[in-house]
């Protein structure tokens, strides 16, 4: 069975993701907090979910990024992991690229990847849009970019 663990506290974005994947034959288990997501992940064998889609900046005790670290330690062989956020924090933690929300769900996973069952962690650099380029500081930018 093609099963996805969706962890997001925002019903609007979770609904978009759920509609996209259920229309393609996936079954979704939804968690509204990272703690619930970790609990659901732990309740099954590590290969139970084909994909984990999580918000990494939820307003909960256990953030999505912490949940992913814990799941990573447990192991998730063959599971695609997609992290997203609507919080504009790249400059704060030194990111160079970010997948910004709102986004169209067609940017999440290339269809050919799903069909080929080539599951792995996707770095944000692989997404063609909507990706926001981040500069270290205005001093680093050329005069045309400043």
Boundaries of every domain in the chain: 3-135
Residue 39 DSSP symbol: H
What is the share, in percent, of the chain residues with pLDDT greater than 90?
Answer: 12
Q: Write out the H or E segment, with its range, that includes residue 54.
A: strand 51-55
Q: Compute the distance between CA of residue 78 and CA of residue 34 in angstroms, rounded to an integer.
A: 21
Task: Supply the pLDDT for residue 52.
Answer: 87
> Average pLDDT for residues 18-36, to the nearest whole number?
91
Q: Which residue bears the tokens 């900046």?
A: 57
Confidence of residue 135 (pLDDT cuts 50, 70, 90): very low
- How far is residue 114 CA from its own chain's centroid? 15
3-135 CATH fold = Rossmann fold (3.40.50)
98: pLDDT strictly greater than 90: no
Given phi > 0 = left and psi -120 to 50 = alpha, else beta, which region is 132?
Answer: beta
| Sequence-separated (6 or more) residues with CB below 8 Å from residue 12 | none
């Amino acid at each position: 069975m093609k099963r996805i663990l969706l962890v997001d506290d925002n019903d609007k974005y979770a609904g978009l993701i759920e509609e996209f994947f259920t229309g393609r034959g996936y079954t979704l288990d939804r968690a509204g907090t990272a703690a619930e997501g970790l609990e659901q992940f732990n309740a099954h064998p590590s290969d139970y979910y084909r994909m984990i889609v999580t918000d990494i900046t939820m307003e909960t005790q256990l953030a999505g990024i912490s949940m992913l670290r814990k799941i990573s330690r447990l192991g998730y062989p063959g599971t695609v992991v997609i992290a997203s956020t609507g919080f504009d924090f790249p400059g704060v933690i030194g990111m160079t690229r970010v997948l910004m929300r709102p986004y169209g769900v067609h940017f999440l996973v290339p269809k050919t990847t799903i069909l080929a069952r080539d599951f792995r962690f996707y770095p944000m650099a692989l997404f063609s849009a909507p990706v926001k380029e981040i500069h270290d500081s205005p001093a680093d930018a050329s005069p045309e970019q400043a």
